[in-house]
Amino acid sequence: MIRKHKKSLISLAVSITLFSTSLQAQSDEQIVESIMKLRADVESLYTKIDENKENYKAQMKSISLQVADSEAQINRKSTSIKLADLELQKIKVKIANTSTSNIELKPLLTSSFDLLENSIKDGIPFKVTARLASLQKIKSDLKEGLITQEKALALLWVSYDDNIRLTKEIGLFKQNIKVDGINVLAQVAKIGSVMMYFSTPNNQVGYVVKDSTGYSYKVATAEEDVKNIVALYDALQKNIRTGYFTLPNALILKGAK
């Protein structure tokens, strides 16, 4: 009985030893596999680092090339500006020399500018800001020596011609106006230089009136007036420029009080 018990203990001990050896072997294999995996991960990271270094170098090289190209373009532009400035100075000198013999044109130009500016300010309020700015541009170019007195006179004549053309022109135009103290982009109907009507984006219609303080935009409230103004717009949109129209009295008479 005792021998059997001893044999059982010996068998159990051998089994435990074998099991322990088996566990140890499995543990060693797992460690080896883990180490191999870590090594593979490290190698992969090194590869990515090398790739990133190469990409970074390529990006830096590209940026350096772009910077060099930009600097070259800036230098070319600077050179072009300097050359243009030299040419401008030459032109100014040439203009000044050309105009030396025509000093008597200055009084004529001054009075002509004043007359046209006053005409624009006193006349129908049609694109007044733009028309005055065009005149100011001629005066500025003349003052800075960019154009000769002869050229200024020719441009001024064109402005006078445009001013005369406006007295005959009938049509629809876009213009900023002030209605009831609010600035709006309206569609204006200009009848030569004696009448001017307007239509706002919120469907208000009316006409320009002049009193002792200047011009103002009056909204039409009477049903008949609104109907007649709308009929005028409809005709002008259809390119009808002649015919019989009944319109609110919107005559802008020069010198009206």
DSSP for the chain reads -HHHHHHHHHHHHHHHHHHHHHHHHHHHHHHHHHHHHHHHHHHHHHHHHHHHHHHHHHHHHHHHHHHHHHHHHHHHHHHHHHHHHHHHHHHHHHHHHHHGGGTTHHHHHHHHHHHHHHHHHHS--SSHHHHHHHHHHHHHHHHTTSS-HHHHHHHHHHHHHHHHHHTT-EEEEEEEEEETTEEEEEEEEEETTTEEEEE-TTS-EEEEEEETTEEEEEEP-SHHHHHHHHHHHHHHHTT---S----------TT--
Q: What is the pLDDT of residue 130?
A: 92
**pLDDT at position 181:** 86
29 and 120, same structural domain?
no
Do residues 177 and 155 share a domain? Answer: no
pLDDT at 133: 93
pTM for the model: 0.56
Asked if 162 and 192 sit in the same domain, the reply is: no
Mean pLDDT of all residues in 211-231: 87
| Nearest-angstrom CA–CA distance, 196 and 190 | 5
Return the percentage of the chain with pLDDT > 90, whole number. 12
| pLDDT reported for residue 175 | 92
pLDDT tens digits along 130-187:
999 999 999 998 888 888 888 888 898 888 888 888 888 888 999 999 888 889 999 9
Tell me the chain's radius of gyration from C-alpha atoms.
45
Range(s) of the domain holding residue 185: 170-237
Q: Look at the chain and report how many structural domains it folds into.
A: 3
Mean per-residue pLDDT for 81-104? 57
Is residue 248 a contact partner of residue 229, using CB atoms and an 8 Å limit? yes
Residue 7 maps to a domain: yes
* C-beta of residue 127 within 8 angstroms of C-beta of residue 174: no
On whether the CB atoms of residues 90 and 160 are closer than 8 A, the answer is: no
Last residue of a domain, one of 144, 166, 188: 166
pLDDT of residue 51: 78
Residues 50 and 67 in one domain: yes
Q: Are residues 178 and 200 in the same domain?
A: yes
pLDDT of residue 94: 58
| Residue predicted with more confidence, 17 or 236 | 236
Which of 49, 67, 101 delimits the end of a domain? Answer: 101
- Confidence check: pLDDT of 256 > 50: no
Contact between 233 and 247 under an 8 Å Cβ cutoff? The reply is: no
Q: Is there a domain that residue 255 lies in?
A: no
| 251 inside domain | no
CB of 189 within 8 A of CB of 233?
A: yes
Residue 229 lies in a domain: yes
pLDDT per position as a tens digit, 226-254: 898 898 888 888 887 776 777 777 665 54
- 247 contact partners, CB below 8 Å, separation of at least 6: 195, 197, 228, 229, 232
Residue 82 and residue 139 in one domain: no
Determine the pLDDT at residue 148. 86
Q: Are residues 10 and 82 in the same domain?
A: yes
Say which residues have a Cβ less than 8 Å from residue 15's Cβ, sequence separation at least 6.
none
Name the domain boundary from 124, 141, 166. 166
Q: Would the pLDDT of 9 be above 60?
A: no
Q: Are residues 32 and 90 located together in one domain of the fold?
A: yes
Q: For residue 54, give Cα distances in angstroms to 41, 48, 49, 65.
A: 20, 10, 9, 16
Does residue 132 form part of some domain?
A: yes
Mean per-residue pLDDT of the chain: 76
Residues 58 and 132 in one domain: no
* pLDDT on residue 257: 40
Q: Find out whether 211 and 251 touch, Cβ atoms under 8 Å.
A: no
